[in-house]
Each structure stands twice: as C-alpha cells, then as structure tokens.
C-alpha cells in the first residue's frame, strides 16, 4: 500500500512532535493549566492526554507520606491533645491506678507519699513530711542547708537549717533545736547522750522574753537557759523532784549549773537560784533553800514526804 504524503508511518524512528512542532526526549509535553485549577500548585501536573478528568491534582505539600499519621496540621482533622499518661491509661487500663493524677491544687505530702509508692517500712516517707511541717511552724529557722539524713542505724532523721535543726523519730516526733540549748546538747553527745532526742521544741520561760530565756525537754532530761546563767542540764531524780515542786515557778527558781552525779555512789545534786536539791539511793531527797522567805510550804513538804529511795518518777 503506498504511503500517504504528509503522514509519517508508525515506527519510522523519528522523534515525536507535538502540535507546535517541538520535539521531546523522554519528557512529557508542557500543557496549559486546566480551567478552574490553581496555577501555583507545586509538583508536575499530568499531561491532559494521560490525566483522568475525575482525578484531581494533589499539591505536593498535601500528599500523605507513607507510615505517617494523616491527622497532621495540614490534613484539616483535629489534632490529638491527649497526654502521654492518658494514652498509656487507655492502652494499659490495669496500670491506670499507678499513674499520677493531674491536680488543680497544691501538691500535699499525701500526694508525695502516694507518688513514691508508700511503704510503711520506709520511715523516711514519714520523716520528710513531719520535718517539713515543723519547719513551716518556725519560719525563722531559715532555708535548709542539708538533706534529710538518717542518724546511724536507728530510724532517726535530721535536717539542718540556717538557724537550727529538726530531728524526727517515731517515738518522739519532729522537734527543733537551736541556739544555746542545741550547743549544750551537742556538747554532751546529742542524740547519742543520756539526754536522747528532744521531745519538745524550745519554749519561752514565763515572764521572760524568748531572747532572755527558754527551755527544751529531752528523753532523758531538760535544758534550761537564761541570759544570766547560760544553759544548764537538769536530769534524773533532781529533775523529778524539781518538777514536783513546780519547775522554775517553785521557790528554788531556775537551775544555774548542770546536775552533778557521783559515779561511785550514784548520788546527784543540782544547784538552783535559791537553793539545792540532792538525792542519793541511801538517804533519799535532801532540799536546801537558801532564802528564808522562800522556805518550803506544807504542800511541798507533803510531796517530798511521799518520796522514797526507790521512787523515781518518770518525766
């Protein structure tokens, strides 16, 4: 069959040309933008000859990457604002009770103990809130200068502050010591001495300002301080007899020196503002009042008459 003039035969090896006569090497011919489409879309538009009319052109920044969540900021779908704890709760309901809850209030020590999985055998979880509560009662202690420290093998914890320290044990609770009383207590051995741990905070003496005098009780005695006499330790039977008479409100007044103990006989003696108190296992209590006007009254003598050599009232 003869070839028609002006028409190239198929498979002639010549380069294909578009309507404008342009030749292309492996490239798709440029096409005009379809009516109604944005000319600023990124990416290579498909040729009108190969593109389906029912398939829209997708911009490059709107294409979904494989393996990526389609609920991104450009998808138009709402973002997932759940927290990691909420997602973990939904995935593992059995562990929901172990997760911390979001609170709209200040975190309390109960929340602290719950967060660290409270163990009754761990006394530190009791000591920390007790010491902090005591510090809150006495703001003048200042800022903490040490961590919560366990003293020895016993369940005794201490934390030091700028102007004192707070000690805690299960049998005594949390109490502060500071100033001259703390110095005198530490000088005889602190919590390892016969005085043991404090059972009260330092308290002001009646009729005196806090700077003029105060006292604190310990497991094995008491320490009284005044600006005139300094700090003095009262303990044993001398302290018990003095307590029966009325402490510092008695006719003997305040202690002016530490109670002395004779290691050989066990006899004890204490010196006070207006007299002395002596006690021995063999003779019992002996009280001397220096001022005649401050002699013991009938009620005091009756209380002392009930004391015997074997009597040792507890503090």
pLDDT band at 292 (very low <50, low <70, confident <90, very high): very low
* DSSP string for 88-106: HHHH-GGGGGGSPPP-SSP
Domain of residue 217 covers 191-315
* Percent of the chain whose pLDDT exceeds 70: 53
User: At residue 57, does pLDDT exceed 90?
Assistant: no
Secondary structure of residue 14 in the 3-state scheme: coil
Tracing tokens 């002001």 back to the chain, one arrives at 204
The verdict on 314 and 196 lying in the same domain is yes
Integer Cα distance of 32 and 43 in angstroms: 14
And the tokens for 147?
A: 């961590």
pTM of the model: 0.59
- State which of 177, 205, 239 marks the end of a domain: 177
Beta-sheet strands, E only, within the chain: 149-150, 156-161, 164-169, 173-177, 203-204, 213-218, 221-226, 230-234, 260-261, 268-272, 275-280, 284-289
In a domain, 262, yes or no: yes
Counting beta carbons within 10 angstroms of the beta carbon of residue 109, is it exposed (0 to 12), middle (13 to 18) or buried (19 or more)?
A: middle
The verdict on 231 and 120 lying in the same domain is no
- pLDDT at site 176: 97
Integer Cα distance of 294 and 250 in angstroms: 9
Integer Cα distance of 179 and 169 in angstroms: 21
In a domain, 185, yes or no: no
In a domain, 82, yes or no: no
- State which of 177, 206, 223 marks the end of a domain: 177
- pLDDT at site 207: 75
The verdict on 142 and 244 lying in the same domain is no
Radius of gyration of the chain (CA): 45
The verdict on 201 and 161 lying in the same domain is no
And the tokens for 94?
A: 């059995």
The verdict on 217 and 301 lying in the same domain is yes
In a domain, 232, yes or no: yes
And the tokens for 109?
A: 């020590």
Number of domains in the chain: 2
**Residue pLDDT, tens place only, 144-200:** 999 999 998 888 999 999 999 999 999 999 999 999 999 999 999 999 999 999 999
The verdict on 199 and 263 lying in the same domain is yes
Secondary structure of residue 110 in the 3-state scheme: helix
- pLDDT at site 124: 86
H helix or E strand, kind and range, residue 273: none
């Amino acid at each position: 069959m003869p070839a028609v003039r002006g028409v190239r035969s198929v498979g002639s090896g010549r380069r294909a040309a578009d309507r404008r006569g342009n030749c292309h090497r492996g490239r798709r011919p440029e096409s005009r933008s379809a009516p109604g489409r944005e000319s600023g879309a990124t990416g290579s538009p498909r040729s009108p000859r190969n593109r389906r009319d029912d398939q829209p052109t997708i911009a490059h920044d709107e294409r979904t990457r494989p393996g990526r969540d389609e609920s991104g900021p450009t998808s138009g779908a709402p973002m997932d604002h759940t927290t990691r704890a909420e997602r973990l709760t939904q995935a593992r309901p059995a562990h929901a009770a172990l997760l911390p809850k979001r609170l709209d209030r200040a975190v309390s020590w109960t929340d602290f103990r719950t967060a660290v999985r409270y163990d009754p055998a761990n006394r530190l979880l009791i000591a920390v809130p007790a010491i902090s509560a005591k510090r809150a009662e006495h703001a003048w202690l200042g800022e903490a200068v040490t961590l919560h420290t366990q003293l020895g093998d016993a369940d005794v914890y201490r934390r030091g502050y700028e102007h004192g320290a707070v000690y805690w044990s299960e049998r005594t609770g949390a109490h502060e010591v500071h100033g001259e009383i703390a110095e005198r207590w530490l000088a005889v051995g602190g919590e390892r001495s016969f005085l043991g741990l404090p059972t009260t905070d330092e308290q002001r003496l009646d009729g005196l300002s806090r700077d003029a005098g105060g006292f604190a009780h310990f497991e094995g005695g008491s320490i009284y301080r005044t600006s005139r006499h300094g700090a003095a330790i009262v303990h044993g039977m001398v302290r018990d007899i003095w307590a029966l008479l009325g402490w510092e409100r008695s006719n003997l007044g305040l202690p002016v020196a530490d109670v002395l103990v004779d290691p050989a006989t066990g006899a004890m003696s204490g010196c006070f503002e207006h007299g002395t108190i002596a006690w021995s296992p063999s003779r019992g209590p002996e009280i001397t009042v220096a001022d005649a006007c401050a002699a013991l009254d009938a009620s005091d003598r009756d209380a002392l008459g009930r004391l015997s050599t074997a009597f040792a009232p507890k503090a």
